[in-house]
Structure 1
Amino acid sequence: MTKIFGDPSSFVDDAMAGFTDLYSQYVQPVPHGVVRSTATPEGKVAVVVGGGSGHYPAFAGYVGPGLADGAVCGNVFASPSTRWVYDVAKAANRGGGVVLGFGNYAGDILNFGLAAERLRAEGIPAELIVVTDDVASEGQGANGERRGIAGDVVAFKIAGAAAEAGYDFDGVVRAARHANELTRSMGIAFAGCTLPGETEPLFTVTEGHMGVGLGIHGEPGISEEPIGSPEEIAELLVQRVLDGKPAGAPDTGRITVLVNGLGSTKYEELFLLYAPIAQRLRAAGYQIVAPQVGELVTSLDMAGASLTVTWLDEELERLWTAPAQCPAMSVGPVIETTPAPVYEAPEDEVADYSGTPEAAAAAGQKVAALIETVRDALKDAEAELGRIDAIAGDGDHGTGMVNGSVAAAAAARAAADAGAG
């Protein structure tokens, strides 16, 4: 379980404060996310990635030269709001348009999609890169597509490298979507993950077994099977991923491979698993290019691993191996950089409630009190809402409702005390 968390409601903000201090050479904080602390040229396409927190190094760990320009950090396992996505995108925008990358989950599609609409309405080109690599969820994810898991890393890296190389907006979108189309993943879990402040995991796996095909939030998998030897686990993962080989995969015989730890599986275990995975892929006629092994897209303290394969053509290989430096990934020679200006958040507009009739102001106080009552009721129900949600989803509903109602109550109280009707 998550043992260091302080106030669970501020877990993400508290963690990001430490992260941005530690990696200030790459990132600087903006409201509800980060952007690069290194300068980027005007006219460059901005790659902004994001989603719920709890998956480090996704998403903020992939911000830096050669990769993403910004990351939106939602609450744990919860999509960031439309406003949060919009604000980070605006902070990252350099005039070349904004490409928004995230995994295929309903909340992310809704909120990133609405943020893109808002950006376009202001004349800023914006498109979505929706990652759909999980073969276990074929036809079951949002919009009838696969879910997005560790394939995020490939799509984000390709998009970032294309933008860094000077591709135009349409070119960055094309390259990233092409990478996603040629990427497939499969994951297994040995034990569930626990939300900060909770004492029970979101799901459990039968002792001595592994859940096959579980999502990175603990979404239901397709089966439970006994834990086998490393060779047997490798055979299962390789076979399932190769069975999902994209119809349009290039015949170069060159692939990149990611073996990803989900949070509490040791690196030595991942190295041990990589060896039979690589052996089987090579026996199948593939040459492995620039593989990655480690914690790439995690799920808090979940025990488990996933295999990702991307079939490479000449362009994708060049972009995958292009230089990049960020907190979670270092590829090739160091990119020379200069510091970016420190981000200054625009001031919020201050509402003027002067002239509100006395009766209306009194009613405003009652409305604020009502919203505070709702907040208190949701706080009391947080654990139960999360438990119910975990049966069919990712267990974040209680946390999301509490965070939303706390923010709503604070805004309502501030407005009512300022004289709002």
Structure 2
Amino acid sequence: MPVLLYVLAVAVFAQGTSEFVLAGLVPGISADLGVPVAQAGWLTAGFAVGMVVGAPLTAALARRLSPRLTLTACLLVFVAAHVVGALTDQLAVLFAGRVVAALANAGFLAVALSIVTRIVPVDRQARALAAVLAGTTLALVAGVPAGALLGALWGWRSALWAIAGLATVALVAVAALTPRRPGPDGPRGDLRVELSTLRSPVLRHSLALGVLVNGATFCAFTYVAPVVTDAAGLAPVVVPAVLVLFGLGAFAGVTAAGRLAGTHGRLVLWVGTPALVAGWTLWATLAASPTAVWVLAPVQGALSFGVGGTLIARTMAAAHGAPTLGGSFPTVALNLGALLGPVLGGWALGPLGTTGPMVAGAALAAGAALLWAAPVLARRFVR
């Protein structure tokens, strides 16, 4: 595969670490800035909002610009936002920095995904997309624990400085290796024509599935800590190890999706979506069992990101008529899920207790399984 794909993966790793690491830094930010924990928690929501808005906006604005210019500009803004965040003593400034960083992150990812589909042959695109997206899963495995460790040793600002440093290295490499145009003539399609691809039933179906599957993932994953400590009775120090296991499973799932999505994508979705429902339901039922935690964390990570990675490949294939905006479509869908999931999970904590987010995650996954099967069931009943 082109070296550029691995460079893009490094950048995605830095950005994924930034997206996920904040949950472990919120208590330190709250204490350092003198604000309630709930207000510090808004920073996570700010990042998700920026991701949803930034993907289509950046892709649309940059569609006639050089991919090299767009990607390096996004990384430059991302680095600057982290430097400002590491220096500020004001929550409002830090919040604004998170939104700006997410805008840049979303724009980078949207353009990067579009480039992948133009520099790699069709039969290898699923594997190439998986290679780039592996940066996100590696962020769960290594970036988030490393950021939490830095925060514990030298304060939350050190984690932001480390992310800024890694993103700077990626910026230099991206500037050196990214082509000025992703194809011989570069994308010149009309914006209205690209947006018209959203009329495709396959594309809209894939996007809706992406929202539900990622919503289920973040609904349960966001609240894993209380399940581990309160329901299973494990020590708080065990939580990072459980998250690492989930991340290892996620990496395996994305890797498998890269190998299977191109030729056996439908099979992955037929098997994977019901398995997700069963997995979250089983975890909610066996939440008091430490063994269930150790076994189901990597399994659910693999299923969540395996199905999610397959949906991204399916979405990109369905959006072939949108060479510049296509990468923004799955980015928006997945981050809408990342917004929806934690909200539903938090709501479920009230009436259902600690395992409520797992139950809500199972419900979202069940919605995805039904939505995936709906066209087949409709054709069968219509006949």
TM-score, scaled relative to structure 2: 0.28
Please tell me whether Structure 1 or Structure 2 has the larger radius of gyration of its CA atoms: 1
TM-score, scaled relative to structure 1: 0.26
Structure 1 or 2: larger helix share?
2
